[in-house]
Structure 1
C-alpha cells in the first residue's frame, strides 16, 4: 500500500469513526422554571436523549442541589427515560423559603401535574431518591397527583416523628448538625465549635441558639417529644395504605431510617387496600448505614464484595419494569424481599419481612449482681433463671453519658456513627452492663425484628434504657449489630408520657429493629445495657422535666433477672 493509499485509508477510518460517534445518542439537558400554585418558581433540570421524543419521566426533588444528581439522571435518560431533577423550594436556584418538609407535598403535586402536561411526557411518572429526597416522594404521593405511577424511596420515612424520635429519645446530633447546614444562617453568625457543650445544653429548647442562631423549625422539633399534632404535616403512616403505587424500598440495618423504611414496605405489602399494590412492593435490606448504601466497608467492618450493590441500577431496573414495560432479568425485579445476613455475608430472597422459617427465641440475662463492664459476671443463655439472682445496677450520669461509639481523633463526638464499630472501649465503663454467651460450637442464624423484654427500675422520675445486640468475634472485636432505646416516661405511650415512680419495677419492651445475622462458630452473642447512646440520642437529664427543664439527676438504674422477672432478648432464630 503506497503513501497515498495509507492517507486515504486513515481519512476513511476517521470518517467512519466520526459517523459512528455521531450515531451514539448523547443526553441533552436544559433548566426550566416550574411555577407552583403560589407563583414561586422552582429550578428544574430536564435530561433527555435527542432520539427520545416522548417517554416516561422519573423525578427527583432535592434540597441538596439538583446538579449533584447529574450522573444518575443521565444514566436514566440513556436508558430511554426522561429524568427531571428539581431544587426544592428555597434551595439553590429555586425561589421561596425553605422550611423542612412543609411544602414538599404540594410542590411535588404541582411539579408532577406540570410534567404530565409536557409534550415529551407520555403520562407515566415515577420518583426516586434517598433520605429527604425519599420523603419528598411519600409527601407528593400522599397528595395523589395525576400521572404518578411508581416511587422508589430509599432510606426514608412516612412518619418524621418516628425518624427523629425513637422510644421517646431524640436523634440529637443528626437533626442539630443537619439544621446547622440547612437553615438560614444570619450574616456574621458562626456554627458552634463546641458540639459537646451544644448537645449537652439544657434546656433543650435553646439548643438552636447554641448552634449559633435561632432556628424556629428546629426549636419546634426539639420541644415536641410527644407524638402530638405538631407532627401531623409529616405523619403519613395511616394514609399510605390508600396509595395505589408499586414501590421499591432500599435501606440498611445500620441506617437510622431502617425501622421506618422496613415498616413502610411491610405496611404496604400487608395492609395496602389495593391487592395489586400489595403484590408490587420490593424491599432490599443490606448491611449499610445512611452514608454507605451499596458499599462493602461500613464503619469498622468490611462485609465483602457480596455486600456491594448498584443502588441506582436497582432503581433503573425497577423503572424499566414499571415504566418501560421491560421484563426483569432473572425475575430479580419481582423478588419481594432481598436481605443480607451479617456475619456469613450472603443475600437471601424471601416473600415477606420478617422472612418465614424463623422462630422467636429468648436469650436470658444472668449474673450474680455484678454484670458491670465486660470483665463482670454477666451471662447470656437459653435458660431462664430458677433462683433469686441479684439485680444488676449502674449509675447513669447525664453529665457523663455513655457514648454511642468510642471518641477518637479521627472520629470526634459530632461524627459519632450508627455503623458497626468496636464496642470494647465502651464496655469498660462501669455504667454499662454486659451479658455474654459461651462461644458457639455451631452457627446461630436469625432474621427479623429483634426486641428486649426487661424488668427495670430507677430512683429518678425518668431514665433511659439502651440495649445493644453484639457479635463478639474470636479475636475480641465487639461488633454492634442492632440497638434500641426507651425513655422511661414513654414506656406506655408516645402521646402521653408518664413519669416513673422511684423504685417501682416495670416490665418494658425495647425495639431493636430489623436485623439478619449469623453468629459464627467460635463467636459469642452479647447484650450491652446502659443509660445513654450519646450523642446519637440525647442524654436523659433523668429529672422528668421535659424539653424546658434545666435540672439533671444521676439515676441508679436496675435490671432484674430472677425467677419471676426473667429479662431477655428475643431473636427470630432459624430452626
Structure 2
C-alpha cells in the first residue's frame, strides 16, 4: 500500500485518461512527433548554483511555449517522462527540474526556502531560450503545487499561467496544532539527501507513536535537521514567512487552474486559493481563475472508488485533455472555449454528478446551524446525542475522558501520502470518548456543499488540550461515511501567532474549521457530528500538560466537558445549497 500511494505522488501521475464532457476536443493542439529529450541541462540561478533539468522538445524547428515542473521527487521519474512526452508531442517544451538540493541539483534542500527565487530564475530561463515563444506555464501537485505559488508572488515577467494541484496552504492552516503531524516525519525522511529514501525501511505505524516527536529521526535512524528545526517554531513567527503566499494574492498576476479532491489531505488550500485569487488577486486575472474539485484523494483523478464508496464511472475525467486545453488557451491563444466556461466545476458526492457553478462558495448557499443536544449521555454510537436546528434550552453537558495514551484513531493509510477517505466510522463511534450527535433522516435531497464550521463551548481539567469535530453521512444501513473533519488546539484558540494556555474547568468558545465537502444527503440518510479530543495519527496527540510542544513524553488524562444550552449553543454550521 505504501508503494502504491507513493507512486501516485512521487511519479506526478495525477492525470489519467477517461471520459469527459462539455469540452471541445477538436479545438486543441494537434499531436505531433517526434520529440527529443535533452537530459541534465544546467540552469543557473542568481547565486551561481546550476540546477539540473530535463528538457522535452518537439524535434522540429520553431518556437514553442514552455511548461515548467519543479520537483523534489526527481525529474527523471516515470511521471515526468509521461508528461514530458505528452506535452512535447502537442507542441510544448516541457522542463522537468530537480529543485535545489534534490536529485541532480546541487545545494542543500530546505523545504520551500529557495523555491520563490529559484522559480523566478527558472521561468525566466525558459522564456529566453531560442526555442521559446516567451510564454511560460507552470504545472505540478502537492509540493510542486506550492512551488508555483511561491514563484508567482515573486512576479517573474514571463510567467503566463499556472496549473496548481493539491497545493499545501500557508503554515498551520491545514494542521493548526503547532507541532508537525507524526506522518510528516515520513516525508522528511523520504526527501533526505538527493535521492528518494526507501519508505519500506521503517515501520511507520509504530513510529507514529514515538515520543517526543522531536527525536523521531533518531528512532528512524536518519538525521533530519529540518524536521528538528520545526520544533523551534511551534507558532507563527518570522521563520515561516518564506513559506507564505496566501497573504500575497495581490502579487499573483496570472490565470490559474486550481485542482484538488474532496478527500485530498491538503484539500483546504485549493478552495482558499481560488477564493483568494478571485477576490484579492491582481484585478486583471480575478475572472480568469477556474476551480476543479473531484471525489479524489491526494493522488487526484486516480480512482473512482475510495474505501467502500464507489463514486461511479464519471468520477475519473480526461485530465490530460483538461490541462492541454487550458494551456492551449493561455499559452497559444487558441479559442477553444476555456475562457468562457463556468469558473467552478465540482463533483457532488452522493448524487455522483459533475456540476458547473459560477462561484465558490455558491452565493445561494444557506448557512444553517445544527445544534448539539443530549441529556448528558452522548457518549458513543449508543448514547442519546441528537442534532437538530432547534435551539438548546436547559440541557446537561456531555463529559468524556481524553487519555493521550489511548487516542481516538483516525482511519488512515500507513503512509504520508493519504490520510483518510470516506471510511466507515462506526467502529470508532463505539468508544465512550467519542460524542455522537445524529439528526433525523432527511426527507428530501439535501446538498451540503461548501465550508463546514463547528462552534464548541467546552471546558477541560487540563491547561492545554484538543477538540476535534467530524462530519458524517449516516446511510440507512448504518454505514457512517466520513466527509470532513477538523481540530482546534486550546492554546491556539485565538490564532497561530501566539500561545495562551487555558484555565482548568473554565468554559471557552472554540471554533473548528472542518474544511470543505460537497455531499448530497439522500432521503433516509442522516447528518451526524462526532466530537472528541484526538484523531490519531492525522493529528499529533496533545499530551495535556501545557508544556513545550514536541519535546516531552510526559502525558496526563483530561476530563472534557461539552456544553450545549441556551448560553452555550454548541453547533455545526453547514452550507446548505438549495
- Fold shared, TM-score > 0.5 on shorter chain: yes
Among 281, 284, 287, the residue aligned to 1:276 = 284
Instruction: State the TM-score, normalizing by the size of structure 1.
Output: 0.90
Cα deviations by residue, 1:396-421 (Å, 9 ceiling, x for unpaired):
11111101117xxxx55878732111
Contact 1:156 1:261 in 2 (8 A): yes
SS of aligned partner of 1:67: coil
In the other structure, the counterpart of 1:65 is 74
- Could you tell me how far apart the structure 1 residues matched to 2:268 and 2:32 are? 44
- Could you tell me how far apart the structure 2 residues matched to 1:155 and 1:293 are? 11
* Cα pair distance change 1:438/1:171, threshold 3 Å: farther
- Could you tell me how far apart the structure 2 residues matched to 1:332 and 1:437 are? 42
Alpha-carbon deviation of 1:171?
A: 5.2
Within a 5 Å distance, the mapping from 1:531-542 to structure 2 comes to 531-542=533-544
SS of aligned partner of 1:200: coil
- Could you tell me how far apart the structure 2 residues matched to 1:284 and 1:130 are? 13
- Could you tell me how far apart the structure 2 residues matched to 1:302 and 1:328 are? 32
Among 157, 162, 170, the residue aligned to 1:151 = 162
Among 343, 346, 356, the residue aligned to 2:353 = 346
2:59 pairs with 1:53? no
Cα deviations by residue, 1:197-230 (Å, 9 ceiling, x for unpaired):
5333333322232332321111122442211112
In the other structure, the counterpart of 1:133 is 144
- Could you tell me how far apart the structure 1 residues matched to 2:189 and 2:415 are? 16
- Could you tell me how far apart the structure 1 residues matched to 2:235 and 2:547 are? 13
The count of corresponding residues between Structure 1 and Structure 2 is: 543
Stretches of structure 2 that go unaligned for 5 or more consecutive residues are 1-30
In the other structure, the counterpart of 1:390 is 396
SS of aligned partner of 2:517: strand
Alpha-carbon deviation of 1:299?
A: 3.2
In the other structure, the counterpart of 1:364 is 371
Among 230, 255, 259, the residue aligned to 2:268 = 259
2:214 pairs with 1:205? yes
Among 547, 567, 570, the residue aligned to 1:567 = 570
* Cα pair distance change 1:207/1:384, threshold 3 Å: same
In the other structure, the counterpart of 1:514 is 516
Within a 5 Å distance, the mapping from 1:242-253 to structure 2 comes to 242-253=251-262
SS of aligned partner of 2:506: coil
- Could you tell me how far apart the structure 1 residues matched to 2:298 and 2:340 are? 23
2:191 pairs with 1:182? yes
Instruction: State the TM-score, normalizing by the size of structure 2.
Output: 0.89
Among 400, 424, 431, the residue aligned to 2:426 = 424
Q: Which moved more, 1:68-77 or 1:120-129?
A: 68-77
Alpha-carbon deviation of 1:545?
A: 0.5
Contact 1:151 1:248 in 2 (8 A): yes
Contact 1:52 1:80 in 2 (8 A): no
* Cα pair distance change 1:220/1:299, threshold 3 Å: farther
In the other structure, the counterpart of 2:244 is 235
2:100 pairs with 1:89? yes
Stretches of structure 1 that go unaligned for 5 or more consecutive residues are 1-22
* Cα pair distance change 1:192/1:433, threshold 3 Å: farther
Alpha-carbon deviation of 1:140?
A: 1.5
Alpha-carbon deviation of 1:192?
A: 7.1
Among 293, 317, 323, the residue aligned to 2:301 = 293
Alpha-carbon deviation of 1:41?
A: 2.3
- Could you tell me how far apart the structure 2 residues matched to 1:74 and 1:293 are? 20
In the other structure, the counterpart of 1:14 is none
Contact 1:59 1:126 in 2 (8 A): yes
Cα deviations by residue, 1:22-67 (Å, 9 ceiling, x for unpaired):
x962121112222223332222111112235201111101111212
* Cα pair distance change 1:259/1:415, threshold 3 Å: closer
Contact 2:183 2:208 in 1 (8 A): no
Q: Which moved more, 1:494-503 or 1:549-558?
A: 549-558
Among 541, 559, 564, the residue aligned to 1:556 = 559
Alpha-carbon deviation of 1:185?
A: 9.6
* Cα pair distance change 1:52/1:471, threshold 3 Å: farther
- Could you tell me how far apart the structure 1 residues matched to 2:312 and 2:180 are? 29
Among 328, 336, 348, the residue aligned to 1:320 = 328
- Could you tell me how far apart the structure 1 residues matched to 2:415 and 2:97 are? 34
